[in-house]
């Protein structure tokens, strides 16, 4: 293993983080030099028994000095805060149409699902110069996908989606690992991040054994689980039509409203009672235990595809992950 | 000014300061307790914000009769406790003893009521777990808080009853004089436990009524 | 001797009445508020029910703390301590809700 | 300066014999309500735990010499670093300075015969022992592997270790802290001697005041969070279970609501100690006393509002990240002010190089480094990259071990003659102080480096590119361990063979020095009274003319 798998600046964002790090290192270095320099000078001059005349210490001045360095410290700290916060804020919003890769973490392995349907374990292939968004969830405890070369880290929680996104600029093989303590084999829950040129990535995807993309796999599940029995326009059962629902606001039976994003669709399968759409009977079965996180991802991808086919703009309204 | 001799303890110079000190110490401890219960209320508030309907459904299943009786019992016990403290300050020894006994009895009645209520709840399997009768799942969250909140409150109250009984015995046997600083601390603590219940009552019993 | 005793008893019963009066009135107010709270819970006010009930609870606690716990006669430091508990709880609520209410996913 | 005279005259000690001679049986120690003896009980117990925690991390550092491990399984490794964290945080650092030096010195410093509630004080030690018993039990019943942070759902549903026992131990020891806090607050409010106004309180007393406030207001929230975890684990109440609408992050909020202020519980007393030591050994008044007091209070209060910087990657909202980041920068200001003030205190002094001063300087250097790296972690983008890595480990060890333990040592050496009436060997003390500083840096500077390079924390096996840094760090740990053992030896030695100390060997001001060493049971032979500001080492407006001059006033000179 090589240290460059960790500390390479593999994206523009990583470079920005490093710049901030250098800035703070310089400021900190100066403060340490100042304080230790002063201590050494005072020792050299005023050690007990030195002949240095001590003279008066004007007490009146001390107030001005105190206010002086309080204000100076405050402003330099605010300056660093402003710099850091602007970095943070510009990195917040994931770009639209990012390539979305689903991540499922569990004790102690990683599973990645590409939109093309390709799956991999403990290895993540991504194209360079492309916005990539990772939608992550955990099947058990809290994990954390740490991508050192991209200076990214995000906890992954059970029953919830968290996101991180990047646009890598360097190709190569880098390290990724779990950063939130998750039990016995926490320290070997790691893998390789392979950043490839977009062309290589396309070739790699094409070479993957599973031909169907996520949405098609989802459709197959949708049929085999019997969802289609109710959720089709012509069905005799009174259930919401899923065409175009993704990204739109839905009114729930308890009077609240939610936007139909990934988290909502997921809740519909696992918590049907609290996500029931107004005007529909409570007949949706609870799929907890019947589908795993990977299958939920496929089903959601299918329902999303029902919207993008007919209403290309729908996804723009999705707040999922956006800040 | 008859029996103060045994009341003064190290390191206090006089009884007035000692009483003030005990009062202050108890109030500081209560500030700590406020945060203890405050964090519990904060959890309840967060979860209720996101599960309004589930909390309403779950709240409809608490035993409002027991809850209401208990509220009145505790309010009354606070009254008797106040009188006990004032009587102690005024050196009315018998009144102090009567009121302390009444307070302990009201407290015990509360615990008894609470026990009956728990029994009733358990009969309906209202304990989060496999056989929990309500849905959606967040109703279990409400009941989780119900058990923890009432449980911790009951522990506090039981502790209070024990302390009141001990103080009662010590007064009765004239081990310590009533006008010492002891009553100060006991009374403040008792009122605090009562106040906590006044928050629990609307959160747990009135939440799902209409 | 016996006259002394009667005087004593009279004095102490007068004293007892003074002891009971303030707290007794507070107790009546508390029980009345409790009744209002219980009754209002059955009015269909929607989200207003909990708000009203909590408001009443806060008033009740206020009465209890000020009159029964005698905060009205307490030294400043004790009021500061009581306020500290409250303020720190508010810090906690404010900063935790700052997170929850601004989450979008 | 007006004299607020409290109507208070402490009882006087007739014989004036030392508190150590009040009883020699073990029972007389176990039933004592004397704050000085309780301090000694605490000192002994936290020393035991310091070395238990030290052995645990020693094994961890040994194991980490090899990237693939030497002799432990991953489960054993996880249990070792967890028990190290739990013991060091709750059984050493939190009670370290307050329960020992605070208990011993604080009442004397403000001229009180004892703390306000002596029996509560003893009870707090027994609570500590009770919590300790649970922890020892956990140690022998297979340990606990959640990390000291107890995050659910791992701790509540997935861990196969003794989480309940560990949580119970911490819960109980928390009440010991609350009891100490209540006691100190009441003591400082009610029992100051005549003339001891608020602005004449020495900084150590102020630090005890603020730290007690933090203990009282933060600890209950920790208790509640542990109780909720235990309820979920024991009874299946779904408090943090997302499938019933729960949120594991709520636990993190509650936990850090305590555990960030806990960092201030550890560092504020250290700040108090070094303020005493710097002034005494520089023969100078504290520069900017008022600002120092204000800074302490600001740190105590604002320190409660910054906990979210532990959760920047945990999944809290970006707005919350921004707010907590801002507040974290704000809380760094008063800390920086304090560093500048201590430095300025040396100006035109007569600086002596006795062991307490060297330890205090070690504190100053390491606290500066630790504080500045805190700025890195308050910046969201850097924190995202560095959190949960060795950078964070190095950062908080620099504050808590480099800072607090150095100051703890400074205080132990400074007040050792007062507590025991014996003088320790100055050469060995200076040698240990310098070794400790060097050993610390060799241990933790490599951790900063590897952390920033990408070495995650709590890792049993690690990529071999980090091995060189781990070896350096383990080597430093050996030096550090030796440096910690040295005081144990020469201080114990001094108890039996040390020279008898004069009452005030450092010619320090401060009421605790105006009484015999060791002090009598009631602390003072004559009623104490204060009629000057603290750190009265020289007249206003001028530095002390000579370093040897004692400005220590004879006790009770105004009575």
- pLDDT value at residue A297: 81
Q: Which residues of C touch D (CB under 8 A)?
A: 77, 84-85, 88, 91-92, 95-96, 98-100, 102-104
Express the helix, strand and coil content of chain B in percent, nearest 5 each: 80, 0, 20
What residues of chain D lie within 8 A of the CB of C92, using their CB?
221, 257
> Which among A46, A65, A162 is the nearest to D348, CB-wise?
A46
- The answer, yes or no, to whether the previous bond of A282 is cis (omega within 30 of 0) is no
Q: What would the pLDDT profile of D252-293 be if each residue is shown by its tens digit?
A: 999 999 999 999 999 999 999 999 999 999 988 888 899 999
Q: Do D364 and A39 touch (CB under 8 A)?
A: yes
Q: Give the Cα-Cα-Cα angle A283, A284, A287 (nearest 5 degrees).
A: 140
Q: Report the number of distinct structural domains present in chain A.
A: 2
Write out the residue range of the structural domain in which residue A44 sits.
1-48+93-211
Nearest residue of C to residue A136, measured between CA atoms: C105
Question: Residue B101: which of B83, B113, B119 has the closest Cα?
Answer: B83
More confident residue, A223 or D224: D224
Average pLDDT on D136-151 reads: 93
Question: Residue A252: which of A270, A262, A237, A267 has the closest Cα?
Answer: A267
Q: What would the pLDDT profile of D16-67 be if each residue is shown by its tens digit?
A: 578 888 888 889 999 999 999 999 999 999 999 999 999 999 999 999 999 9
Helix axes D426-453, D390-397, angle to 10 degrees: 160
Question: Residue A298: which of A210, A230, A237 has the closest Cα?
Answer: A210
Taking the C-alpha atoms of residue D303 and residue D262, their distance in angstroms, rounded to an integer, is: 9
Q: Give the Cα-Cα-Cα angle D480, D386, D295 (nearest 5 degrees).
A: 70
Question: Please, which chains are in contact with B (at least 3 CB pairs closer than 8 A)?
Answer: A, C, D
Percent of chain D clearing pLDDT 90 (strictly above): 81
Tokens at residue A29, please?
């270095």
**Is a pLDDT exceeding 80 seen at residue B182?**
yes
User: pLDDT band at B4, cuts 50/70/90?
Assistant: low
Instruction: Please answer whether residues B183 and B85 qualify as being in contact, where contact means their C-beta atoms are separated by less than 8 angstroms.
Output: yes
Q: How far apart are the first and last CA of chain D?
A: 18
Instruction: Please answer whether residues D527 and D9 qualify as being in contact, where contact means their C-beta atoms are separated by less than 8 angstroms.
Output: yes
Query: How many other C-beta atoms can be found within 10 angstroms of the C-beta atom of residue B33?
Result: 21
Residues A163 and A253 in one domain: no
Q: What would the pLDDT profile of A62-111 be if each residue is shown by its tens digit?
A: 788 889 999 999 999 999 999 999 988 888 877 878 899 999 999 889 99
More confident residue, D422 or B176: D422
Question: Residue A191: which of A282, A111, A286, A280 has the closest Cα?
Answer: A111
**Is a pLDDT exceeding 60 seen at residue D209?**
yes
- Burial of A35 (C-beta count, 10 Å sphere; 0-12/13-18/19+): buried
Tokens at residue D145, please?
């592997």
Tokens at residue D122, please?
């003893």
- The answer, yes or no, to whether the previous bond of A108 is cis (omega within 30 of 0) is yes
CA A279, chain centre distance (Å): 36
Give the start-to-end residue ranges of the domains of chain B: 17-205
**Is a pLDDT exceeding 50 seen at residue A15?**
yes
Taking the C-alpha atoms of residue B197 and residue D171, their distance in angstroms, rounded to an integer, is: 23
User: What fold, for D36-513?
Assistant: Cytochrome C Oxidase; Chain A (1.20.210)
- pLDDT value at residue D383: 95
**Is a pLDDT exceeding 60 seen at residue A116?**
yes
**Is a pLDDT exceeding 90 seen at residue C26?**
yes
B72 touches chain C (CB under 8 A): yes
Residues A218 and A204 in one domain: no
Taking the C-alpha atoms of residue D331 and residue D348, their distance in angstroms, rounded to an integer, is: 30
Taking the C-alpha atoms of residue A52 and residue A29, their distance in angstroms, rounded to an integer, is: 30
**Is a pLDDT exceeding 50 seen at residue D559?**
no
Question: Residue D336: which of A214, A35, C52 has the closest Cα?
Answer: A35
Instruction: Please answer whether residues D340 and A31 qualify as being in contact, where contact means their C-beta atoms are separated by less than 8 angstroms.
Output: no
> Which among C15, C43, C54 is the nearest to B202, CB-wise?
C54
User: pLDDT band at C8, cuts 50/70/90?
Assistant: low
Taking the C-alpha atoms of residue D230 and residue D165, their distance in angstroms, rounded to an integer, is: 9
Determine which of D187, D215, D246, D320 to mutate to test the interface with C (most C C-beta atoms within 10 Å).
D320
Q: What would the pLDDT profile of B74-131 be if each residue is shown by its tens digit?
A: 999 999 999 999 988 888 888 899 999 999 999 999 999 999 999 999 999 999 988 8
Kindly state the helix (H) or strand (E) to which residue D249 belongs, with its residue range. Answer: helix D248-282
The CATH number assigned to the domain holding A306 equals 1.10.760.10
- Give the 3-state secondary structure of residue A124: strand
Nearest residue of D to residue A41, measured between CA atoms: D347
User: pLDDT band at D526, cuts 50/70/90?
Assistant: confident
Residues A240 and A179 in one domain: no
- Give the 3-state secondary structure of residue D3: coil
Q: B50-64: b or e for each residue (b if 16 or more CB lie within 10 Å)?
A: bbbbbbbbbbebbbb
Q: How big is chain D by its Cα radius of gyration, in Å?
A: 23
Average pLDDT on D215-239 reads: 94
CATH class of this structure's domain B17-205: mainly alpha
Average pLDDT on B123-142 reads: 88
- pLDDT value at residue C11: 67
- pLDDT value at residue B6: 66
Q: What would the pLDDT profile of A162-215 be if each residue is shown by its tens digit?
A: 999 999 999 999 999 999 999 999 999 999 999 999 999 999 988 877 656 777
- pLDDT value at residue A34: 94
List Cα–Cα distances, D236 to A142, A153, A211, B37, D167, in angstroms: 19, 31, 43, 21, 16
B138 touches chain A (CB under 8 A): yes
Taking the C-alpha atoms of residue D454 and residue B183, their distance in angstroms, rounded to an integer, is: 60
Question: Residue D376: which of D391, D393, D363 has the closest Cα?
Answer: D391
Average pLDDT on D132-153 reads: 93
Q: How big is chain C by its Cα radius of gyration, in Å?
A: 22
Q: Give the Cα-Cα-Cα angle A61, A65, A70 (nearest 5 degrees).
A: 150
Enumerate residues 6+ apart whose C-beta is below 8 A from A306.
Answer: A242, A243, A244, A245, A246
Residue A110: strand pairing partners: A105
Instruction: Please answer whether residues A304 and A317 qualify as being in contact, where contact means their C-beta atoms are separated by less than 8 angstroms.
Output: no
**Phi, psi for B13 (deg, rounded to 5):** -80, -35
Structural domain ending residue among the three candidates A211, A241, A273: A211
pTM confidence score = 0.89
Residues A40 and A170 in one domain: yes
Question: Residue D163: which of D78, D48, D71 has the closest Cα?
Answer: D78
Chain mean pLDDT for chain D: 90
Give the start-to-end residue ranges of the domains of chain C: 2-72, 74-105
DSSP state of A291: B
- The answer, yes or no, to whether the previous bond of D153 is cis (omega within 30 of 0) is yes
Taking the C-alpha atoms of residue A250 and residue A244, their distance in angstroms, rounded to an integer, is: 11
Sign for the pseudo-dihedral over CA of B197, B199, B201, B205: negative
C92 touches chain B (CB under 8 A): yes
- Give the 3-state secondary structure of residue A255: coil
Instruction: Please answer whether residues D321 and D383 qualify as being in contact, where contact means their C-beta atoms are separated by less than 8 angstroms.
Output: no
Instruction: Please answer whether residues D144 and D79 qualify as being in contact, where contact means their C-beta atoms are separated by less than 8 angstroms.
Output: yes
Residue A74 lies in a domain: no
Query: How many other C-beta atoms can be found within 10 angstroms of the C-beta atom of residue A41?
Result: 12
Express the helix, strand and coil content of chain A in percent, nearest 5 each: 40, 25, 35
Give the start-to-end residue ranges of the domains of chain D: 36-513
Taking the C-alpha atoms of residue A217 and residue B162, their distance in angstroms, rounded to an integer, is: 65
Residue keyed to tokens 């968290």: A162
- The answer, yes or no, to whether the previous bond of B2 is cis (omega within 30 of 0) is no
Average pLDDT on A217-226 reads: 79
User: pLDDT band at A321, cuts 50/70/90?
Assistant: very low
Of chain D residues 64-93, which have a CB less than 8 A from chain A?
74-75, 78
Chain mean pLDDT for chain C: 86
Taking the C-alpha atoms of residue D115 and residue D33, their distance in angstroms, rounded to an integer, is: 9
Taking the C-alpha atoms of residue C52 and residue C44, their distance in angstroms, rounded to an integer, is: 12
Question: Chain C closest CA to A163's CA: distance in Å?
Answer: 9
Nearest residue of B to residue D254, measured between CA atoms: B39
Residues A35 and A183 in one domain: yes
Q: Which residues of A touch C (CB under 8 A)?
A: 160-163, 261, 263, 319-323
D331 touches chain C (CB under 8 A): no
- Concatenating the DSSP letter of every residue in D453-482 gives HT-BSS-SS--GGGHHHHHHHHHHHHHHHH
Taking the C-alpha atoms of residue D73 and residue C5, their distance in angstroms, rounded to an integer, is: 83
Average pLDDT on D86-98 reads: 95
Instruction: Please answer whether residues A26 and A179 qualify as being in contact, where contact means their C-beta atoms are separated by less than 8 angstroms.
Output: no
The CATH number assigned to the domain holding A113 equals 2.60.40.420
What residues of chain C lie within 8 A of the CB of B68, using their CB?
34, 38
Structural domain ending residue among the three candidates A211, A240, A260: A211
Q: C43-74: b or e for each residue (b if 16 or more CB lie within 10 Å)?
A: eeeeeebbebbeebbebbbebbbebbbbbeeb
Residues A6 and A137 in one domain: yes
Q: What would the pLDDT profile of A248-290 be if each residue is shown by its tens digit?
A: 888 887 777 788 888 888 888 887 777 778 777 777 878 777 7
Residues A232 and A219 in one domain: yes
A85 touches chain D (CB under 8 A): yes
Residue A147 lies in a domain: yes
Question: Chain A closest CA to D266's CA: distance in Å?
Answer: 22
Q: Do D244 and B140 touch (CB under 8 A)?
A: yes
**Is a pLDDT exceeding 60 seen at residue D2?**
no
Instruction: Please answer whether residues D521 and D531 qualify as being in contact, where contact means their C-beta atoms are separated by less than 8 angstroms.
Output: no
Taking the C-alpha atoms of residue A176 and residue A122, their distance in angstroms, rounded to an integer, is: 9
Q: What would the pLDDT profile of D448-497 be if each residue is shown by its tens digit?
A: 999 999 999 999 999 999 999 999 999 999 999 999 999 999 999 999 99
What residues of chain B lie within 8 A of the CB of C100, using their CB?
46, 49-50
**Is a pLDDT exceeding 80 seen at residue D8?**
no
List Cα–Cα distances, D239 to A268, C99, D153, D156, in angstroms: 21, 18, 10, 10
Enumerate residues 6+ apart whose C-beta is below 8 A from D67.
Answer: D461, D462, D463, D464, D466, D467, D470
Taking the C-alpha atoms of residue A281 and residue A253, their distance in angstroms, rounded to an integer, is: 9
């Amino acid at each position: 293993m090589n240290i460059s798998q960790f500390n390479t600046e593999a994206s523009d964002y990583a470079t920005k983080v490093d710049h901030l790090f250098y800035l703070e290192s310089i400021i900190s270095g100066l403060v340490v030099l100042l304080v230790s320099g002063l201590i050494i000078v005072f020792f050299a001059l005023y050690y007990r028994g030195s002949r240095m005349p001590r003279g008066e210490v004007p007490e009146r001045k001390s107030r001005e000095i105190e206010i002086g360095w309080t204000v100076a410290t405050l402003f330099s700290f605010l300056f660093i805060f402003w710099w850091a916060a602007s970095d943070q804020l510009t990195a917040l919003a994931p770009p639209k149409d990012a390539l979305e890769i689903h991540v499922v973490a569990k004790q102690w392995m990683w599973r990645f699902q590409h939109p093309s349907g390709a799956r991999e374990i403990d290895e993540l292939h991504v194209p360079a110069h492309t916005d990539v968004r990772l939608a992550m969830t955990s099947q058990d405890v809290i994990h954390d996908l740490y991508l050192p070369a991209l200076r990214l880290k995000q906890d992954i929680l059970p029953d919830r989606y968290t996101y991180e996104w990047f646009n890598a600029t360097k190709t190569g093989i880098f390290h990724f690992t779990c950063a939130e303590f998750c039990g016995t084999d926490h320290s070997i829950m790691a893998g390789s991040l392979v950043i490839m040129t977009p062309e290589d990535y396309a070739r790699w995807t094409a070479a993957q054994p599973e031909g169907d993309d996520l949405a098609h796999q989802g459709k197959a599940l949708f049929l085999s689980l019997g969802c289609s029995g109710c959720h089709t326009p012509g069905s005799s059962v009174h259930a919401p039509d899923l065409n175009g629902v993704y990204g739109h606001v839905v009114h729930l039976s308890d009077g609240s409203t939610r936007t139909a994003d990934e988290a909502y669709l997921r809740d519909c399968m696992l918590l049907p009672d609290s996500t029931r759409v107004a005007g529909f009977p409570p007949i949706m079965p609870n799929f907890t235990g019947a589908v795993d996180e990977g299958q939920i991802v496929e089903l959601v991808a299918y329902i999303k595809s029902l919207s993008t086919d007919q209403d290309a703009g729908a996804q723009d309204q999705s707040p999922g992950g956006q800040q | 000014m008859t029996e103060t001799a045994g009341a003064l303890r190290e390191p206090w110079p006089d009884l007035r300061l000692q009483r003030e000190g005990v009062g202050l110490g108890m109030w500081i401890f209560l500030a700590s307790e406020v945060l203890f219960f405050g964090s519990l209320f904060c959890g309840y508030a967060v979860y209720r914000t996101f599960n309004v309907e589930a909390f309403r459904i779950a709240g409809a299943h608490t035993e409002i009769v027991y809850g209401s009786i208990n509220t009145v019992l505790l309010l009354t016990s606070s009254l008797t406790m106040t009188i006990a403290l004032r009587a102690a300050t005024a050196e009315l020894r018998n009144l102090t003893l009567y009121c302390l006994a009444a307070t302990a009895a009201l407290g015990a009645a509360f615990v008894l009521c609470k026990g009956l209520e728990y029994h009733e709840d358990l009969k309906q399997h209202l304990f989060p777990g496999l056989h929990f009768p309500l849905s959606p799942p967040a109703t279990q969250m409400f009941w989780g808080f119900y058990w923890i909140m009432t449980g911790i409150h009951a522990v506090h109250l039981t502790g209070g009853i024990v302390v009141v009984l001990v103080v009662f015995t010590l007064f009765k046997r004239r081990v310590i004089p009533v006008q010492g600083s002891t009553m100060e601390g006991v009374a403040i603590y008792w009122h605090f436990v009562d106040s906590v219940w006044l928050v629990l009552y609307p959160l747990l019993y009135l939440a799902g009524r209409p | 001797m016996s006259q002394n005793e009667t005087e004593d008893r009279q004095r102490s019963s007068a004293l007892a009445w003074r002891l009971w009066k303030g707290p007794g009135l507070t107790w009546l107010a508390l029980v009345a508020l409790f009744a209002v709270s219980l009754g209002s819970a059955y009015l269909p006010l929607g989200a207003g029910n909990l708000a009203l009930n909590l408001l009443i609870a806060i008033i009740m606690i206020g009465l209890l703390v000020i009159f029964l716990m005698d905060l009205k006669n307490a030294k400043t430091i004790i009021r500061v301590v009581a306020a500290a508990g409250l303020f720190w709880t508010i810090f906690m609520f404010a900063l935790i809700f700052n997170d929850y209410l601004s989450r979008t996913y | 300066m007006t004299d607020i005279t409290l109507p208070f005259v402490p009882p006087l000690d007739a014989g004036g014999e030392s508190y150590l001679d009040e009883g020699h049986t073990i029972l007389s120690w176990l039933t004592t309500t004397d704050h000085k003896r309780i301090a000694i009980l605490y000192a002994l117990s936290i020393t035991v735990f310091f070395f238990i925690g030290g052995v645990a991390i020693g094994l961890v550092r040994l194991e980490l010499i090899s990237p693939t491990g030497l002799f432990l399984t991953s489960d054993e490794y996880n249990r070792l670093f967890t028990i190290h964290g739990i013991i060091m945080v709750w059984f050493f650092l939190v009670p370290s300075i307050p329960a020992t030096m605070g208990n011993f010195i604080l009442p004397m410093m403000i001229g009180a015969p004892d703390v306000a509630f002596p029996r509560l004080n003893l009870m707090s030690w027994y609570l500590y022992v009770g919590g300790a018993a649970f922890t020892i039990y956990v140690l022998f019943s297979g340990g606990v592997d959640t990390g000291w942070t107890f995050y659910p759902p791992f701790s509540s549903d997935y861990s196969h270790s003794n989480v309940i026992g560990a949580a119970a131990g911490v819960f109980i020891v928390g009440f010991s802290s609350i009891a100490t806090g209540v006691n100190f607050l009441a003591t400082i409010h009610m029992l100051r001697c005549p003339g001891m106004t608020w602005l004449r309180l020495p900084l150590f007393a102020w630090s005890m005041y603020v730290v007690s406030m933090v203990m009282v207001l933060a600890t209950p929230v920790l208790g509640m969070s542990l109780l909720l975890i235990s309820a979920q684990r024991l009874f299946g109440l779904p408090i943090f279970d997302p499938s019933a609408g729960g949120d594991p992050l709520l636990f993190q909020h509650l936990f850090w609501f305590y555990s960030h202020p806990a960092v201030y519980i550890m560092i504020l007393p250290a700040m108090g100690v070094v303020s005493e030591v710097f002034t005494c050994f520089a023969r100078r008044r504290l520069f900017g006393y008022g600002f120092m007091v204000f800074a302490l209070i600001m740190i105590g209060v604002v320190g409660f509002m910054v906990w979210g910087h532990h959760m920047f990657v945990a999944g809290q909202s970006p707005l919350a990240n921004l707010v907590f980041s801002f507040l974290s920068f704000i809380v760094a200001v008063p800390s920086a002010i304090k560093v500048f003030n201590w430095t300025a205190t040396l100006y035109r002094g007569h600086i002596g190089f006795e062991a307490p001063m060297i330890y205090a300087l070690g504190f100053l250097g390491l606290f500066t480094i630790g504080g500045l790296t805190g700025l890195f972690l308050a910046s969201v983008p850097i924190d995202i990259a560095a959190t949960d890595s060795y950078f964070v480990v190095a950062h908080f060890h620099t504050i808590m071990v480099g800072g607090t333990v150095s100051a703890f040592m400074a205080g132990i050496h400074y007040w050792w003659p007062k507590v025991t009436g014996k003088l320790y060997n100055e050469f060995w003390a200076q040698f240990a102080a310098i070794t400790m500083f060097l050993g610390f840096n060799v241990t933790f500077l490599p951790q900063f480096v590897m952390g920033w390079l990408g070495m995650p924390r709590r890792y049993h096996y690690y990529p071999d590119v980090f091995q060189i840094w781990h070896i350096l760090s383990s080597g430093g740990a050996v030096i550090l361990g030796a440096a910690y053992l040295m005081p144990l030896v020469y201080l114990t030695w001094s108890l039996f063979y040390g020279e008898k100390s004069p009452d005030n060997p450092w010619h320090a001001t401060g009421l605790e020095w105006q009484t015999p060493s060791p002090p009598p049971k009631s602390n003072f032979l004559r009623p104490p009274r204060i009629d000057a500001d603290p750190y009265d080492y020289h007249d206003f407006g001028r530095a002390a003319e000579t370093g040897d001059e004692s400005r220590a006033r004879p006790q009770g000179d105004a009575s």
